[in-house]
Amino acid sequence: MSSCSDEAIPGQPIVLGCGQLCLDYLVTVASFPIPDQKIRGTSFKVQGGGNTGNALTCVARLGLPCRILAKVADDSHGRYMVEELESSGVDTSFCMSAKDGASHFNYVIVDNQTNTRTCIYTPGYPPLLPDDLTESLLLDVLDGVRVLYVNGRSREAELLLAQKAHSKNIPILINAEKKRTGLDELIDLADYAICSTNFPQEWTGAPSSPSALLSMLIRLPKLKFVIMTLGEHGCVMLERCSSEVSGSEEETDIDELHESLKQSTDFTSVLPVCNSSVNNVFRYIISSQVLHFVNENIFNALNIFS
């Protein structure tokens, strides 16, 4: 991946994200409490969260111009999240503020013993709705955009925006965390998908994760690649190398291929390690790290730095 500066370069294509913003209350504990136990936290902080806000903060810190389309309540939580995004370099001029309502917030328990986090989500209101997106706003927010990021949290509004982006040939990247009502229409428009560990199998009903990734490419002809994150075990990616993917033999062989690549991948390396296999249909990759791999492949695929 090309090197990134701390500040966006004028004239670069824009990444647009649409979704919910959420304020996180993060408390770190030595180990997760058992029921009715009182324990002491080792650290505490408050910061903006939500998939869209996190993704765009990452994009901005990589030096790319980005903007967000979202709705927050006109309360202290909402103002704090917008100000934090602005301080990170995210364009918030398309953020809507609702006079009556409450912003989303999250209690997050970070367990130092298991390196896990447990989230307790409290939804806010009002949501971002299609009626909020006028034709002129859609044209303005998509102006200069190279890629649209969605995750289905504000599915009706995101679908309207994605349909408009699709009509303008703007690639769509979806973060598929879990099955949601109406997500199928959104994922049908996606050019790229990043999935949680369980989503591919939950969505396809395939017997294994590798066969689920292949099933996604078969069902979604517009999809160029799908990445499945695996936490501390890195991630895997299946990339389309041909216009057609078919045949039960590929679905059977991909499980053996996954095990073979997994056995030959050094997951102890402090540097990113990628192991891949290519045929005339697809390229299957196992990576020992998530963030570096995801960032590099997305930006290279979209030619963001060209």
Query: What pLDDT is recorded for position 11?
Result: 57
Return the biggest CA–CA distance within the chain: 58
Domain ranges in the chain are 14-20+51-76+89-101+127-243+253-302
Indicate the pTM of the whole model: 0.86
Query: What pLDDT is recorded for position 234?
Result: 85
Beta sheet of 104-111, edge-to-edge order? 41-49, 22-29, 104-111, 116-122
Query: What pLDDT is recorded for position 74?
Result: 93
Q: What angle do CA 169, 170, 176 make, to 5 degrees?
A: 125
Query: What pLDDT is recorded for position 100?
Result: 87
Per-residue pLDDT tens digits of the chain, which is 306 residues long: 233 344 544 556 799 999 899 999 999 999 999 999 999 999 999 999 999 999 999 889 988 899 999 999 999 999 999 999 999 999 999 999 998 899 999 999 999 999 899 999 999 999 999 999 999 999 999 999 999 999 998 999 999 999 999 999 999 999 999 888 889 999 999 999 999 999 999 999 999 999 999 999 999 999 999 999 988 788 899 998 865 544 444 444 799 998 988 888 888 877 778 888 887 788 888 888 776 666 666 666 556 444
| Rounded (10°) angle between helices 51-61 and 76-88 | 20
Query: What pLDDT is recorded for position 207?
Result: 95
Place of tokens 């679908």: 159
Would you call 305 exposed, middle or buried from its count of C-beta atoms within 10 A (0-12, 13-18, 19+)?
middle
Alpha-carbon span 257 to 164, nearest angstrom: 39
Query: What pLDDT is recorded for position 302?
Result: 56
Task: Determine the 3-state secondary structure of 28 from DSSP.
Answer: strand
Could you tell me which CATH number the domain at 14-20+51-76+89-101+127-243+253-302 has? 3.40.1190.20
Task: Determine the 3-state secondary structure of 52 from DSSP.
Answer: helix
Alpha-carbon span 22 to 40, nearest angstrom: 25
Place of tokens 């703007």: 170
